[in-house]
Structure 1
Amino acid sequence: MKIIPVILSGGAGTRLWPVSRKAYPKPFMKLADGKTLAELTFDRALDISTTGEVITVTSRDYYFICRDIYKTNPKAVMDKQIFMLEPMGRNTAPAIALAALQLRAQYGDEALMVVMPSDHLIRDFDSFKKAVHTAAEMAAQDYLTTFGIHPTQPETGYGYIKAGAELGTGVRSIEEFVEKPDLETAKAYLKSGEYSWNSGMFCFKASTLLETMHSVCPDVMSAAQACYDATLTHHVPIEMDQNRFAEMPDISIDYAVMERAPKRAVVDSRFDWNDIGSWNSMATLAESDVNGNRVEGKAIAIESNNCYIRSGDRLVAMVGVDDLMVVDTKDAVLVAHKERSQGVKDVVQFLKSKDHEAAIYHQTVHRPWGSYSILEDADDCKVKRLVVKPGQVLSLQLHHRRSEHWTVVDGTAKVRVGDDEFLLNANESVHIPVETLHRLENPTDTDIALIEVQCGDYFGEDDIERFEDIYGRTDDSKQAS
């Protein structure tokens, strides 16, 4: 029995702002132990893969981040990892359907796929593997199987699954899916013992899923097939055809398939599970002091109770307050009452309405070639520190409204300005006038660092015209450097 995990890696994670932002969302934020959810999910996926292969469905922007995270896993054979890149978000049904088409093409009708989001935290690998084994047995019998998390409290932030007839030890048919309930309904669900939390994880044969989609959601299936047929699937990574993908319905796998499928099952899953859906969820991962305060980073709480503090480089001090959440990053601070943790997404919506960069970017922005940190952002200049990874190359580009001045602070850079190409060593600099073609490359086997000073009347990232780019970004000039 071949089992190939499918990781869905994307989403904005707006309820975990300011740490999770669109350009660097929840799967990539570090937990207290220094690991990321994406790192832990990939490790868990490798643990259940029977071939050492994992399919990751993500975007072009996140592909480079995922790839670099995966490379750090000693169990990973990177040549075996399959990345399928979405040109835009279209919810989970299109993503899973395309992964199923790829899996069936590679492994045939009997191969099983275990679908898991990249932003869930599960530490009990042994119990998780047992649940996967049970789910695989049902999937082999052509059931569309999901993992129902045994509820421990009347949670209003999750959807629920009502179990039906028993199909085997620890697995039952699905009677119905229900939406997020109010508190009294959630209490009734918990008391009845018939409901579990909908985890958003699944196990099925790729062929069974596709046959079911032909029957219950033919519009999604036909659009997925057309997109897959138009895609160059032998390329690495696999980039889904943009025009066909844009025509796919924006719908979840629950609505499109699971609620309509005739043969479906739920595994009673007893492993620990946390979808880290809010700062309250994140707080449960930190140890509590005698006053109920949970602290990550540099912080002190005096005469304060039941607070959560996550700090970065700065010391955060709280005096005489209760039930607050304080999350401090280099360029933004969140202060909220614990009972309003779900409302953090409203902050992001407000920032978006004002076109504020803090809705999308951190002070440090990760790019395929490395990263840059904004040191100053004034009306008359912008200053960045760039770190370029070994062998990486920024796009050949020019700017219409700003000049740039590069100074190497560490390493040796290869620079093109106009038609001239030369090496720039530490403590050496170069000026790049407006409307001048330029490119930066790291020809060495260690990171290089530069300071970039921009001067002009506009410093937006959309003032970039690309001519050549090894990362395929010449069609999207609004991405940074």
Structure 2
Amino acid sequence: MIINPVVMAGGVGSRLWPLSRAAFPKQYQVLVENEGSLTMLQQTFARLGGLSLGTSQLICNQEQRFLAAEQVRRVGEEVPACAGMTAAGLDIVLEPMGRNTAPAVIIAALRLQQQGVDHPMLVLSADHAIADEAGFRAAIVKASALANEGYVVTLGIQPNFACTGYGYIECGEAVGGYGDDSAAEQGLMVNDFVEKPDEATATAYLASNNYLWNSGMFMMRPSVVIEEAQAYCSALLAQCRATVASATLDLDFVRLPEAQFAQCDNISIDYAIMEHTQKAVVVPVNCGWSDVGDLNALYETNARDEQGNVCQGDTLVNQSRNCFVKSTSRLIALQGVEGMAIVETKDAVLVAPLAQAQDIKQLVTQLKLQGRDELVHQREVYRPWGSYDSVDSGPNYQVKRITVNPGARLSVQKHKYRAEHWVVVEGVAKVHVDGVDHVLQANDSVYIPKGVVHCLANETKLPLHLVEVQSGSYLGEDDIERLDDVYGRC
């Protein structure tokens, strides 16, 4: 049976700060160790290999559009099972702002309906970890048969401990045989969706053996989504119709209009439809699932050493147990600690007991109240052409390490307040400055006075690395006047 994946990649992952930031959230990072060093988004697409896929949609924030497209392109090239799932082989739908999951799912259904498609759509989050991918795919096949019969299907995870961080599903009677196989394993009607319980209630749920974790993964036909939306959230459906009607193409992206999308209710698919529909069915699955929602979940998901530690990056651990230690740029040394999370990024360090991982959102609230840039950005910033890392700054100067991807180019631009000096470290740079072309190799440099039109390109098949020294009275990123840009940012 054909399945239409809808992958939602709009979350921020604030409880994983400082790893996850608004400008570089967890789904675009390698947080769960895997053989191919795939990001969570890439793993989401990779585990669909082997299924019969139809129209695929990736829904993400417009600010991450080039990052998302590049990651999908890479997984399509590097993972044989995903050879057809390149950025050109799916629709990347851009949200101008966050509006939770209900608008995303309804818009995806409306777009499939526009194309005359009514095979089941598989709704997934781009930031989940799944250990048993074969078991996951088997559950998807079962769910697709139920969805084809008109049910609204969710995947329920078999709980293995009394978790207070997940919602629960109360299971009802078995659904009879479906499709052409009356002996097929049954799904279960959903009696109720339950919010995150306290510890005593979660313990009771576990003991009853009648509750499953709500995974947030769904499968239903587009026409059924629209029918249920008409019944239970008709105003939101009308807002989504207006949004889809005014959507435009921007390069390889589908851009949702800000004016219409802003009118969509900020509501989850659970609240909008799942808690009201009479067609809800759950398929139980035990596939080593985690939403990797906080540092403790990240600790539980990754492999541990003999002392129970998860160590990633440059770490040195002695007489310490059951810790999560992640370094991104320098050595972290531990001595005589237990049950701690220590996370180092280039601009922030977090130290917290793993048992208080859920409470990191309180730190995030304080960062927001203080207007700290560390809440939104990491020091390394990704652009459609590559990335830059602000390694040093002071009054009237800033130093960046710049990487330009093979075949990529920066916009034709000029600056009003700053001058720049570029030094090539590795690779070959083609530079245009004030009407003159230069080809620079390692150890070559060029000076760009303020107000002068310039651009930079990497026309080779290898990455280009250079150091940029900026000087001037104002060094903000908004001091860029783009005159021409292959990425449509003028």
Deviations, residues 71-91 of structure 1 (Å, cap 9, x unaligned): 233332233222111122111
Following TM superposition, by how much is the alpha carbon of 1:354 offset from its aligned partner in structure 2, in angstroms?
A: 3.0
- Contact 1:408-1:424 at 8 Å conserved across structures: no
What is the alpha-carbon distance in structure 1 between the residues aligned to residue 285 and residue 209 of structure 2? 13
What is the alpha-carbon distance in structure 1 between the residues aligned to residue 436 and residue 364 of structure 2? 43
- Contact 2:129-2:301 at 8 Å conserved across structures: no
Where does the alignment leave 5 or more consecutive residues of structure 1 unmatched? Answer: 475-481
Deviations, residues 440-460 of structure 1 (Å, cap 9, x unaligned): 222333322221111123322
Name the amino acid aligned to 2:167.
Answer: G
- Contact 1:416-1:438 at 8 Å conserved across structures: yes
Alpha carbons of 1:209 and 1:267: their partners in 2 closer, same or farther (altered >3 Å)?
Answer: same
Runs of 4+ in 1 over 6 A off after TM superposition: none
Output the aligned Cα RMSD.
2.0
Matched, 1:429 2:436: no
Following TM superposition, by how much is the alpha carbon of 1:171 offset from its aligned partner in structure 2, in angstroms?
A: 1.2
What is the alpha-carbon distance in structure 2 between the residues aligned to residue 155 and residue 321 of structure 1? 25
- Contact 1:6-1:57 at 8 Å conserved across structures: yes
- Contact 2:385-2:405 at 8 Å conserved across structures: yes
What is the alpha-carbon distance in structure 1 between the residues aligned to residue 279 and residue 170 of structure 2? 15
- Contact 1:104-1:111 at 8 Å conserved across structures: no
Matched, 1:14 2:14: yes
Where does the alignment leave 5 or more consecutive residues of structure 2 unmatched? Answer: 177-184
* Matching residue of 1:334: 350
Following TM superposition, by how much is the alpha carbon of 1:405 offset from its aligned partner in structure 2, in angstroms?
A: 1.6
Aligned residue pair count: 471
Matched, 1:190 2:200: no
User: What percent of counterpart residues are identical?
Assistant: 39
Name the amino acid aligned to 1:86.
Answer: E
What is the alpha-carbon distance in structure 2 between the residues aligned to residue 412 and residue 299 of structure 1? 35
* Matching residue of 2:341: 325
Matched, 1:35 2:38: yes
* Matching residue of 1:348: 364
- Contact 2:5-2:53 at 8 Å conserved across structures: no
What is the alpha-carbon distance in structure 2 between the residues aligned to residue 279 and residue 9 of structure 1? 19
SS in 1 for 2:317: strand
* Matching residue of 2:142: 134
Alpha carbons of 1:292 and 1:257: their partners in 2 closer, same or farther (altered >3 Å)?
Answer: same
* Matching residue of 1:151: 159
What is the alpha-carbon distance in structure 2 between the residues aligned to residue 251 and residue 399 of structure 1? 42
Q: Work out which of the residue numbers 112, 122, 125 in structure 2 matches 1:114.
A: 122
Q: Greater CA deviation, 114-123 or 263-272?
A: 263-272
What is the alpha-carbon distance in structure 2 between the residues aligned to residue 465 and residue 425 of structure 1? 24
Matched, 1:66 2:68: yes
TM-score by length of 1: 0.92
* Matching residue of 1:369: 385
Matched, 1:45 2:40: no
What is the alpha-carbon distance in structure 1 between the residues aligned to residue 469 and residue 57 of structure 2? 41
TM-score by length of 2: 0.91
Following TM superposition, by how much is the alpha carbon of 1:136 offset from its aligned partner in structure 2, in angstroms?
A: 1.1
Alpha carbons of 1:151 and 1:445: their partners in 2 closer, same or farther (altered >3 Å)?
Answer: same
Alpha carbons of 1:98 and 1:235: their partners in 2 closer, same or farther (altered >3 Å)?
Answer: farther
- Contact 1:38-1:118 at 8 Å conserved across structures: yes
What is the alpha-carbon distance in structure 2 between the residues aligned to residue 49 and residue 351 of structure 1? 45
Name the amino acid aligned to 1:61.
Answer: E
Deviations, residues 101-143 of structure 1 (Å, cap 9, x unaligned): 12222243x3110000010011212211221122112111111
Alpha carbons of 1:249 and 1:410: their partners in 2 closer, same or farther (altered >3 Å)?
Answer: same
Deviations, residues 136-191 of structure 1 (Å, cap 9, x unaligned): 12111111111111111100001111112221434111111111111011111111
Following TM superposition, by how much is the alpha carbon of 1:365 offset from its aligned partner in structure 2, in angstroms?
A: 1.5
Alpha carbons of 1:215 and 1:254: their partners in 2 closer, same or farther (altered >3 Å)?
Answer: same
Following TM superposition, by how much is the alpha carbon of 1:218 offset from its aligned partner in structure 2, in angstroms?
A: 0.8
SS in 2 for 1:199: strand
Following TM superposition, by how much is the alpha carbon of 1:311 offset from its aligned partner in structure 2, in angstroms?
A: 2.1
Alpha carbons of 1:461 and 1:134: their partners in 2 closer, same or farther (altered >3 Å)?
Answer: same
* Matching residue of 2:83: 76
* Matching residue of 2:179: none
* Matching residue of 2:57: 55
What is the alpha-carbon distance in structure 2 between the residues aligned to residue 159 and residue 431 of structure 1? 57
SS in 2 for 1:409: strand
Name the amino acid aligned to 2:145.
Answer: E
